[in-house]
Structure 1
Amino acid sequence: MNVKIGTFNVLNLARVGERYYDDTPPYTAAEFDKKADWIAEQLRRMDADVVGFQEVFHVEALREVCTRSGRFGPDDTVVAPGADGLSGPRVGFASRLPLAEDPEPIELFPDGVDAPADGIALPGGTFSRPVLRARVVLDEAAGTTCTVFVVHLKSKRPTVRPDAVDHDPREEALGKARSLVRRAAEAVALRLLLLAEIVDNDQPAIVLGDLNDGTRAVTTDVVMGDAPSRFWPPPQQPELRRAYWDRLLYSAHELVSRRTGRDVSYTHIFSGHYDNLDHILVSQEFYERNPARIADAVDLRYFNDHLVDSQLSDDRRDRIVSDHAQLVAEIRLRS
């Protein structure tokens, strides 16, 4: 049995006539219709059973595009907690598979994020966009469930003072550093949530979302964790090595590209820079070198043909299509 799981940053999905940012006009009926049709067509192309969404402003708009796609019906789950148009962009979740638990938004950081060391401490507090946790039933007959976290970490956009002069290079540098610190704190908070979910048990987990950093960026590494080295823990202490494996996540991008020997992926283009900002991360229960795995990540597809490199093309991207690629990982459950 194969299951497809995807992630989709929809770029400011809001209802007709409702302003989602103060400095941005709302969608006209014609604009929303075009945007909803484009998202619905992408969902049909993705053909995914489970999708995590980012940048949802109204849950009603998300339900509309999911219905238009024909992929999600009235008996399926489509939610975006807190997406009321007043609370900023939220993450959403759609599933054709049954759920073992109701989806749960998580706004507060778990304890321990702000623990200081050497006079340095990360800020505590809340996620800029609350994380969504859902427990999906992968195989009803076997009773196999998987915990899915839908995430959207702080962007690289500089966090500047309200009275700062526009394009001040010093303030831009400080602003990028502030955003990095916030994103790092969110990455640690997500990591702590994951450890509470996957350590000392056989519960598989998947992270879907826009981490706003590359596959081997420090913040992404924080979420995934560090693998044991060749020399530590030593082979004479296999229980320590097993403990390391138990707390790791693996990039579906790296698993598939290593096996196929190809990597032509990107999910975002900005000023000529091609990046992988969107990720599907899986726990050891999906890792091909784990003899006790429940499934294999057999394919990862990128839907990025709508992205435009502004350094090479005069085409101007409008707000109808997303500025991110969509990803779909196909996992094959083992009997």
Structure 2
Amino acid sequence: MSLSIATINLLNYLAPPDAFYDFLNIYDSAQWQAKTDWLSRQINDINADIIGFQEVFSIEELRLQLLELGYPYFACVDKPTISEEYVYSSPVVALASRFPIHNAQAVTAPTSSAEFSFSRQPLRASIHHPQLGWLDIYVVHFKSKRPIFIDNDNRLDSQTTSKNERSHQDIVEQWQQEWMGECRSTMQRALEFHQLYQAIVQRKLETQYPVLLLGDFNQELSQQEFAPLTSVQCFRQPETEPLILPYRLFDSGAFWYQNSPQRRPTTHYHGANGSILDYILYSCEFTPLAEFPIASLSEYKVWDRHLINPHYADDAQASDHAIVSITLIPYL
């Protein structure tokens, strides 16, 4: 029995009459129907056993839609922020499965402090597969690249200040504030990943369950934020590599394309620039590197037609991210 997993950024999944981020951002009934219809088509086409979601506002509506699509098990461990009773911000992640979900909970930062919190709370749940046994599934949505401003930045609002009113010094100050904000954003994303990875390792030390980590990373894995993924041994101690291997995470897409002449598809576009932001990582049990692998990667797929060749009638309310899915075949 194969196991298929997918990750989907839903892009503002919020049922009317509520609004996302601004009181004007409300889907009308036709737009909401188009959005839910688009999602149903994607899920039916992908036919995954386990799906992680990002940018969820309407939790109960998503649960009911997935139930109708054949996913009786659903987990969400956080709630979005609501202001003025109907304006939603801070979307959450969720997990749907054809297999029973056990022990779904929010991930706790191992080295938590008053100065750190996840921008979006990661989810961890355990699933028992008939052939693969117990698996730990993590769903994440790391901090975006949007700059983080702090109160004492005293930043200028360029939308309300005319060009004539803005001095040379104003522009330079705004420029500095923006790149300092981007630096804070990078640091937040790095902290989120490091804290999550520590929690994953500590959990695996306790259970030895194989791990699947899926979601929107909001940055490419090659960036410094995700440096622990390339750490294979203790510093200048090569003999420690076999002991660390069970706790490493591997990029399914990198495995799939490592010997392929094809270029790995991007999952998100900002204008004409594409990036790979959506990932499914797994522990060594699903790779040939393990002493006793339990499954092999038989398919890695990026569902991106709505991005590269959209049809307005079908894709007007589509996500701005591609969907990533993989299929694992257990060893007999």
User: How high is the TM-score relative to the length of structure 2?
Assistant: 0.84
1:84 deviation in Å?
Answer: 5.4
Are residues 173 and 318 of structure 1, via their aligned partners in 2, closer, same or farther at CA, if it must alter by over 3 Å?
farther
For this pair of structures, how many residues does the alignment match? 307
The Cα shift of 1:131 comes to 0.6
Contact (CA 8 Å) 1:59, 1:81: kept in 2 or not? no
The residue identity in structure 2 corresponding to 1:135 is S
Q: How far is 1:63 from its partner?
A: 1.9
- Is the counterpart of residue 97 in structure 1 residue 93 in structure 2? no
Q: Is the 8 A contact 2:137 2:212 kept in 1?
A: yes
1:327 aligns with 2:324: yes
- The structure with the larger Rg is 2
Instruction: Choose the corresponding residue for 1:132, options 120, 123, 129.
Output: 123
Greater RCO, CA 8 A, separation 6+: 2
The answer on whether the counterparts of 1:90 and 1:129 sit within 8 Å (CA) in structure 2 is yes
**1:250-270 CA distances to partner (integer Å, 9 max, x unpaired)?**
000111111444333110001
Q: Which runs of 4+ in 1 moved over 6 A?
A: none
- Paired with 1:259 and 1:148, the residues of 2 have a C-alpha distance of 27
Counterparts of 1:319 and 1:186 in 2: how far apart (Å)? Answer: 33
Q: Equivalents in 1 of 2:224, 2:117: separation in Å?
A: 20
Q: 1:117: which partner in 2? A: none
Give the C-alpha shift of residue 44 in structure 1. Answer: 1.1
Which residue identity is paired with 1:94?
A
The amino acid across from 1:138 in the alignment is H
Q: Helix, strand or coil for the counterpart of 1:127?
A: coil
Matching residue's letter, 2:136: T
Q: Does residue 60 of the first structure (1) align with residue 51 of the second (2)?
A: no
Choose which of 60, 72, 77 in structure 1 pairs with 2:73: 77
Percent identity of paired positions between Structure 1 and Structure 2? 27
Provide closer, same or farther for how the CA distance between residues 211 and 24 of structure 1 changes in structure 2, counting only shifts above 3 A.
Answer: farther
Counterparts of 1:93 and 1:46, CA distance in 2: 15
CA distance in 2, matches of 1:267, 1:215: 13
The aligned amino acid for 1:131 is: P
**Kindly tell me: are residues 232 and 334 of structure 1, through their superposed partners in 2, closer, same or farther at Cα, counting changes over 3 Å?**
farther
1:1-335 aligned within 5 A: 1-67=1-67, 70-72=69-71, 76-83=72-79, 86=82, 88-99=90-101, 101-106=102-107, 108-111=108-111, 124-139=115-130, 144-161=133-150, 163-166=154-157, 168-199=174-205, 202-222=208-228, 224-228=229-233, 233-234=237-238, 237=239, 240-307=240-307, 320-335=317-332
Aligned-partner SS, 2:296: strand
**SS in structure 2 of the partner of residue 33 of structure 1:** helix
The 1-side partners of 2:285 and 2:305 are apart by 32
Residue 64 of structure 1 deviates from its aligned partner by 3.7
Q: What is the deviation of 1:48?
A: 0.4
- String of CA shifts for 1:302-332, please: whole Å, max 9, x gaps: 01111159xxx9x9x9871111010001111
Looking at structure 2, the residues matched to 200 and 258 of structure 1 have their Cα atoms a distance apart, in angstroms, of: 32
Structure 1 Cα separation of the partners of residues 64 and 30 of structure 2 = 15
Cα offset, 1:83, TM superposition: 3.2
1:20-77 Cα deviation digits (max 9, x unpaired): 2135422221111110000111111111000000000121221243245x242xxx21
Query: Shift of residue 294 of structure 1?
Result: 0.9
User: Counterparts of 2:302 and 2:127 in 1: how far apart (Å)?
Assistant: 23
**CA distance change for structure 1 residues 40 and 298 in 2, over 3 Å: closer, same or farther?**
same
- Structure 1 residues not aligned, in runs of 5+: 115-122
Aligned 8 A contact 2:253 2:264 in 1: no
Compute the TM-score of the two structures, normalised by the length of structure 1. Answer: 0.84
**Partner-residue secondary structure (3-state), 1:292:** coil
Residues 152-196 of structure 1 show CA distances to partners (whole Å, capped at 9, x for unaligned) of 000001113464124632221111111111111101111111111
CA–CA separation in structure 1 for the residues paired with 2:292 and 2:331: 10
- Displacement of 1:143 in angstroms is 7.0
CA deviations on 1:195-236 (whole Å, 9 max, x unpaired) are 1122476320010101111121122333x251249x9544xx
Distance in 1 between residues matched to 2:62 and 2:316, nearest whole Å: 16
Q: Distance in 2 between matches of 1:261 and 1:96?
A: 35
State which drifts further: 205-214 or 54-63: 54-63
* Higher helix content, 1 or 2: 2
Task: Please say if residues 213 and 220 of structure 1, whose CA atoms lie closer than 8 Å, have aligned partners that are also in contact.
Answer: no
